[in-house]
C-alpha cells in the first residue's frame, strides 16, 4: 500500500472516531431533567422572575445588571423555596443561534435556598439576541429544569 492511501485511511478513521465521540458526548451539552417547568412568562430584563416548580416549591431567578448586557460580568441569583436544592446551574442557550456551551454553577449563599454566581454572555454580531436561561436544580434525586427567556444587546460602542 502506498503512503497516500495509509494517510487517507488514517484521516478517515480519525473523522469517524471524532464523529462517534461527538455523538456520545452531545447529551452532556443539552440540559437533561426529570421535571421540566413551562417557560416562565416574565422578563428578566425587568427584574427577578418567580415561577412554581412542578411537584411543589418555587424558584425566583434574577440576572443583573438590567438590561442584561453581552460581554459584561453578570450576577446570577436563584432563590428556591419548598424543596431542598443540592446543586444549581444556569444553562444559557441562544434561541436563534448556537453560541456554545455556557453553564455556570451557582454556589450556596448565606441563606437556605439561596444560590449565587457569576456568568457572562458572548456578543452576537447581529446585535440583539434572544436567550434562554434554564435554571437546573438537583433536589431529592431528581433534576428540575426551569426555563426563562430574555434578550440582550450588543455592548455600547464608545
CA distances from 134 to 8, 16, 20 (A): 43, 32, 27
Q: What is the pTM for the complete model shown? A: 0.75
pLDDT of residue 14: 78
pLDDT of residue 157: 39
* Contact (CB, 8 A) for 7 and 15: no
pLDDT of residue 78: 97
pLDDT of residue 129: 86
d(CA 56, CA 64): 27
Which grid coordinates are listed for 142? Answer: 431528581
Radius of gyration of the chain (CA): 20
Q: What are the 10-residue block averages of pLDDT along the chain, 158 residues in total?
A: 78 75 53 72 91 91 91 94 95 85 92 94 76 92 92 59
d(CA 9, CA 28): 30
Amino acid at each position: 500500500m502506498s503512503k497516500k492511501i495509509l494517510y487517507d485511511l488514517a484521516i478517515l478513521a480519525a473523522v469517524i472516531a471524532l464523529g462517534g465521540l461527538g455523538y456520545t458526548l452531545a447529551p452532556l451539552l443539552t440540559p437533561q431533567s426529570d421535571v421540566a417547568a413551562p417557560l416562565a412568562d416574565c422578563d428578566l430584563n425587568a427584574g427577578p422572575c418567580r415561577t412554581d416548580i412542578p411537584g411543589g416549591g418555587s424558584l425566583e431567578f434574577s440576572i443583573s445588571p438590567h438590561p442584561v448586557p453581552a460581554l459584561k460580568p453578570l450576577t446570577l441569583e436563584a432563590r428556591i423555596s419548598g424543596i431542598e436544592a443540592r446543586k444549581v446551574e444556569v444553562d444559557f442557550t441562544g434561541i436563534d443561534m448556537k453560541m456554545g456551551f455556557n453553564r455556570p454553577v451557582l454556589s450556596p449563599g448565606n441563606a437556605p435556598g439561596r444560590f449565587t454566581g457569576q456568568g457572562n454572555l458572548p456578543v452576537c454580531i447581529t446585535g440583539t439576541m434572544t436567550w434562554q436561561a434554564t435554571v437546573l436544580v438537583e433536589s431529592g434525586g431528581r433534576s428540575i429544569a426551569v426555563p426563562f427567556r430574555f434578550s440582550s444587546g450588543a455592548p455600547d460602542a464608545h
